[in-house]
Amino acid sequence: MQETGVVNFDVRDGTTRVDSHPGLQEGFAEVKLKDLSNQYDFISLRVGIQSFTSDFRGLIFSDQEPGARLFGNFDSTRYQFNLACFAMLEKDTNSGLNSMAYRHQQVMIANIYRQDFIKPGYTIQASFHYDKDDPSFQYNTDDFLVRPAPTGNVQPHAIRSYYYGLTGDGHFGKLNLTHAFYQVLGHDRFNELADTAWISMRRWPPWNCHSIRIGCATGSRSSTRPANSIPPLEARAASAPSSTIRTSRAASSAFGIARASR
């Protein structure tokens, strides 16, 4: 390994190492609470460790965590909704699987989808995320500090953040469109809370495909961290190097145009 902070530095472990970790990624009970119509509209409740992705691309939350989720649809399945609350678990460092250790973080999510919005084939979604991340101090299984982030002023701190989002996915005729906008509000004196936007457009047919992708994220001007300290679009990592609630910590932008032919 040429990178630092990847494997345990204890030379007594040798140069060839074997690691194993059992993890429970899914285990839940589900009950249908009510049928709302004869058009397959319903309300159900699911409790336990479950997979959940909060928007079309999993930009903010996509994970397998213990929690409770109330979900269903109405108006002949044109509307789908989710109300969810998760208690986040620590992740195994090397496999990324769930451990049974509580991370002292709760995430609450509400979203609603509307199919065939404006025109058939396009779906719009509005969502709200609340991240309650309490102060904690964590070394991963390779004995590296991962929380709080080992840069700058290393001090455990709490995050209270609110994500307001509007996303869409679908097509208008031959134009495929995927877009997202999130405004992030909250409090963390060591982190800039921000807004972020992302859009992808593609024109069919696929043998003469034109696509455009644009991304932008902005940081708070009142932040105490310099603009050149650019960690990834993630909150403080758990035992594994990645987490699921993501916040923008510095200004960045991206623009791309691609054309594929065959």
Q: Residue 211 and residue 200: Cα distance in Å, rounded?
A: 7
What pLDDT was estimated at residue 213?
66
Instruction: Evaluate whether 36 touches 9 at the Cβ level (below 8 Å).
Output: no
8 pLDDT band (50/70/90 cuts)?
A: low
The residue that leads in pLDDT, 192 or 181, is 181
Q: Name 184's Cβ contacts closer than 8 Å, sequence gap at least 6.
A: 161, 162, 163, 164, 193, 194, 195, 196, 247, 248
Instruction: Evaluate whether 207 touches 225 at the Cβ level (below 8 Å).
Output: no
Q: Residue 65 and residue 214: Cα distance in Å, rounded?
A: 31
Record the pTM: 0.74
User: For the segment 212-224, what is each residue's pLDDT rounded down to a tens digit?
Assistant: 666 666 665 554 4
103-142 exposure pattern, b = at least 16 Cβ within 10 A, e = fewer: bbbbbebbbebbbeeeeeebbbbebebbbbbeebebebbb
* 244: exposed, middle or buried (Cβ count in 10 Å: 0-12, 13-18, 19+): buried
Nearest to 113 by CA among 105, 122, 101: 122
Q: Residue 99 and residue 73: Cα distance in Å, rounded?
A: 33
Does residue 92 carry a pLDDT above 90?
no
Provide the token pair at 199: 């859009």
User: For the segment 167-184, what is each residue's pLDDT rounded down to a tens digit?
Assistant: 999 988 888 888 899 988
Instruction: Evaluate whether 113 touches 89 at the Cβ level (below 8 Å).
Output: no
Strand partners for 121:
none
Strand partners for 165:
127, 182
Q: Which of 86-90, 92-96, 159-163 has the lowest mean pLDDT?
A: 92-96
Query: What is the chain's length?
Result: 262
Nearest to 237 by CA among 146, 143, 156: 146
Q: Structural domains in the chain? A: 23-261 (2.40.160)
